[in-house]
Amino acid sequence: MIDKDTILSNWDLSTVPSPCYVLHETLLADNLRVIDKVRKATGAEIIVALKANAMWSIFPELSRHSDGATASSLAEARLVFEEYGAPAHTYAPVYTEGEIGEILNCSNHITFNSLGQYERFGRRAHRAGVSCGLRVNPEFSTVETDLYNPASPTSRLGILAADLTHLPEGIDGLHFHSLCESRPDDLRGTLAAVEERFGRFFPQIKWLNMGGGHLMTHKDYDEEELIHILCDFRSRYPHLRIILEPGSAFTWDTGCLVATVEDKVSNGGVDTLMLNVSFACHMPDCLEMPYKPAILGTHEPAEGEKRWRMGGNSCLAGDYYGDWAFDGGREPRVGDRIVFRDMIHYTMVKTTMFNGVTHPSIGIWNPETGFRLVRKFGYEDYKNRMS
């Protein structure tokens, strides 16, 4: 893999508007090389999960380095069908009478979250020629954040082994998803649990979807170990199509959110830089996970070093994160750029227009041609979400 730190530290963002999400094409290409390596070495199908990134302006590039895309709603299924150019692998926690017909028109695989949903809509899916699967709960997960762990025995997501006494007629596949930004050992443990609880059904199915959370493009991820795990599994079940649908891996650390310091506030001994972006509106995972994002040109404050909190521009009291120290002891000023790293996945898809704060634009950076603005948001976008 390339040295992303060097590329980002030398990135000229002077022509980029603020606020703006900016995807770097060189960094995306490097991730796609890793994904292609795993696809080629294992024969597994790796598909793009729109829930992590639905930036359809890069679908043509993603489609050349994947085996399709997965959707979790009618809107995502339509976007896959219309802009990705292929039917979707669709899973949603629940389908409705009003939407199932259009979802099936946009899908070639559909996974049902419960036996009740399959009984209700399975025949219609078969008539549409769509391959049907069931989501199962392995009751095993290494994910420590409850918000992102769907594998507890009381989870509403997936069928428990105790409740799946036999495989209903017409089921082609099983689907599990209990990883989140995980490593190969996490998949190994999960697969063992799936085999123990559901392996008796493997001879009866055609495909096994191992869900997302395979963070194979992280610099510390051992993709060779992932290849070994998948090849070993395929050697034991050669008739199964293996499907992975990583969300973050495709666009992990491929771009930034460019913001600007608009004010400096010091209260109660805490120094805050007031930005033209919001953690709550534009970087929600920072507060939900929670996790502290990297900012170019900063580091963790040492003892006695000047530290700065970053404040969002919504009126939510908790719309802030901290603390950072600026490299070289630099004193930030109003008008300075603040560049949050790794802000392409699970950002744009989760943003809100709370308070009507200015919504970041979306752009793409090419090292040869420079910055290209893809989308700018304005008042009409806010107004049209209301009534």
Helix (H, G, I), strand (E, B) or coil at 313: coil
pLDDT at 148: 80
In a shared domain, residues 288 and 233: no
Q: Which DSSP symbol is given to 84?
A: I
In a shared domain, residues 233 and 168: yes
In a shared domain, residues 155 and 264: no
pLDDT at 289: 87
* pLDDT range class, residue 234, cuts 50, 70, 90: very high
Using the predicted structure, report yes or no on whether residue 242 has a pLDDT greater than 90: yes
Share of the chain above pLDDT 90, in %: 90
- Expressed as residue numbers, the domain containing 330 is 254-342+350-383
Say if residue 232 carries a ligand binding annotation.
no
Using the predicted structure, report yes or no on whether residue 210 has a pLDDT greater than 90: yes
* pLDDT range class, residue 195, cuts 50, 70, 90: very high
CB 354 within 8 A of CB 326: no
pLDDT at 8: 85
| Domain presence at residue 1 | no
Q: Which of 80-84, 140-144, 175-179, 269-273 has the lowest mean pLDDT?
A: 140-144
| Domain presence at residue 7 | no
Using the predicted structure, report yes or no on whether residue 204 has a pLDDT greater than 80: yes
CB 56 within 8 A of CB 86: no
With vertex at residue 285, the alpha carbon angle to CA 54 and CA 243, rounded to the nearest 5 degrees, is: 50
CB 54 within 8 A of CB 62: no
Q: Which DSSP symbol is given to 277?
A: S
pLDDT at 149: 85
Omega within 30 of 0 (cis) for the link into 222 = no
Q: What is the mean pLDDT of residues 240-249?
A: 97
| Domain presence at residue 298 | yes
CB 23 within 8 A of CB 263: no
Burial of 243 (0-12, 13-18, 19+ CB in 10 A): buried
pLDDT at 146: 80
pLDDT at 224: 98
* pLDDT range class, residue 219, cuts 50, 70, 90: very high
Structural domain ending residue among the three candidates 180, 215, 248: 248
Q: Measured between alpha carbons, how far is 19 from 308 in angstroms, rounded to an integer?
A: 20
| Domain presence at residue 16 | no
In a shared domain, residues 108 and 226: yes
Omega within 30 of 0 (cis) for the link into 293 = no
pLDDT at 278: 98
Using the predicted structure, report yes or no on whether residue 1 has a pLDDT greater than 80: no
In terms of Cα–Cα distance, which of 118, 185, 125, 127 is closest to 158?
118
In terms of phi and psi (left: phi > 0; alpha: psi -120 to 50; beta: otherwise), the region of 179 is beta
In a shared domain, residues 93 and 169: yes
In a shared domain, residues 308 and 211: no
In a shared domain, residues 137 and 284: no
In a shared domain, residues 111 and 61: yes
Q: Measured between alpha carbons, how far is 369 from 219 in angstroms, rounded to an integer?
A: 27
Structural domain ending residue among the three candidates 248, 263, 290: 248
Identify the CATH number of the domain in which residue 261 sits: 2.40.37.10
* pLDDT range class, residue 49, cuts 50, 70, 90: very high
Give the count of domains, the chain: 2
| Domain presence at residue 18 | no
Share of the chain above pLDDT 70, in %: 100
- Token pair 């963790």: residue: 300
pLDDT at 3: 86
| Domain presence at residue 17 | no
Q: Measured between alpha carbons, how far is 320 from 310 in angstroms, rounded to an integer?
A: 6
pLDDT at 314: 98
pTM to 2 decimal places: 0.94
pLDDT at 2: 82
Using the predicted structure, report yes or no on whether residue 141 has a pLDDT greater than 80: yes
- Token pair 């030398």: residue: 10
In a shared domain, residues 102 and 167: yes
| Domain presence at residue 53 | yes
- Token pair 């939900």: residue: 288
| pLDDT (tens digit per residue) in 288-329 | 888 999 999 999 999 999 999 999 999 999 999 999 999 999
| pLDDT (tens digit per residue) in 325-352 | 999 999 999 999 999 999 999 999 999 9
Average pLDDT score, the chain: 96
CB 268 within 8 A of CB 230: no
Residue type, 222: D
